[in-house]
Structure 1
Amino acid sequence: MKKIFLLSTIIFLSVQCKAQSHIVNSIDCDSNFDHSSGDYYRKDMNNIMDNYVGTWKWTSGNKEFILTLIKQVKHHYHETGNDNYYEDRLVGYYQYKENGVIIADTSSDNNLSTDYGMKVMFILDCHSQIASIAFKDYKKYKSFEVVLESLSPTQIKMNMYEREHNIIINKKTGERNPPVDPQGGSTFPMEMILTKQ
């Protein structure tokens, strides 16, 4: 009976130890973690991302840009490559109008839980900076590096930087992604100060 109890206790403790995750502060630049082990969690321990959650608006004359950000806590990255870890992130969508006419709108991107194909996704990097993993200007067939900076509880600054653009051609079908070469510039301003709505 003692052997069964001892064996049960060892198995229970082994399972409990395996179920524990390694929690790493997102802003800890010295932390290395295994992206493929499934037991690491990059956590926004200081709740920095909370300052960016909500709907933000920029206007200038007849132009209007609206950015909506949602915080996803302990999102499981597992859809691409060897990634198998958890991380807090910001996802969302934007809408850009000129003269009241919608020029670009990603609000129909209703699956914000995916890892692949997102148009708006940010993480908290180890320098306490909200930086884009994905920010796509689909009208220009371009992706941008975007950094958000909190100016006050009601204002953030958004800076966009061009990145290299790759064209992928499917060998079997000959299909291009994007279908045409990226176009010059951006659909909306590359620097904006947005106000919380």
Structure 2
Amino acid sequence: MTAGGRFYLVTNVENGLVRQWAELPGVSKIPSYWHVLTLPNKSSTCTSKGPWILAARGRELYRIDVGVAELIDPSPAIKSMTHTSIHLIAISSNQQLVALYLDNGVLWIGDTAFQKCHCEIFLPDRIDAFNSGSKDSVDSTFQNPIKILWSTVCAVVLQWTNFVVLVGPHEDIYEFFYPEDVYLEQEDLSGRPGWMHFVRLILCIEEKLDPK
């Protein structure tokens, strides 16, 4: 993506063929988030069988193809449409599922066609750490996470500075605190038999390690 919000895709490295995607409508053409999906677009207006782009701008979602940038209407699938912006997005490893974290505190998980909702959770009511009132753990005022990732295709992981929440397939929630800041990275081991995407947790250790 260029600084002006234009998308270009090199479909063949050998011959250097470059294709330009459609631009977002309106004055501001730069999305707050974008992700390339290689599976065919299921939209009725975007008929390309090649890659397409899922982009977010404010509270709007778009499917971007070579010829058209289609505004997605997620209202049939997303019930909590009180948000003003989409804060974070994560795509599952099989590109069939998408997780949205909205600025109203809702975590929505559904299909990338935005026709089916698998779960819709208002996290401030479900995360115990933000309801305990304990100042030793985290601020009692709910804060937006800084990162969201998929672990395989069954769970979504959200990260605060030193606080990690795992949301399971049955809306079960697990909370983990760490004494230091942590960093999450999603690793793709799909090329190895029996492995899929998983999330690697990296602890930030300030003290030097003893060589002994």
What TM-score bracket applies, with the shorter chain setting the length? under 0.3
Give the number of the structure whose residues are more often helix, by fraction. Answer: 1
Give the number of the structure whose residues are more often strand, by fraction. Answer: 1
Relative contact order higher in (CA < 8 Å, ≥ 6 apart): 1
Report the TM-score, using the length of structure 2 for normalisation.
0.26
Report the TM-score, using the length of structure 1 for normalisation.
0.27
Task: Report which of the two structures shows the higher radius of gyration computed on alpha carbons.
Answer: 1
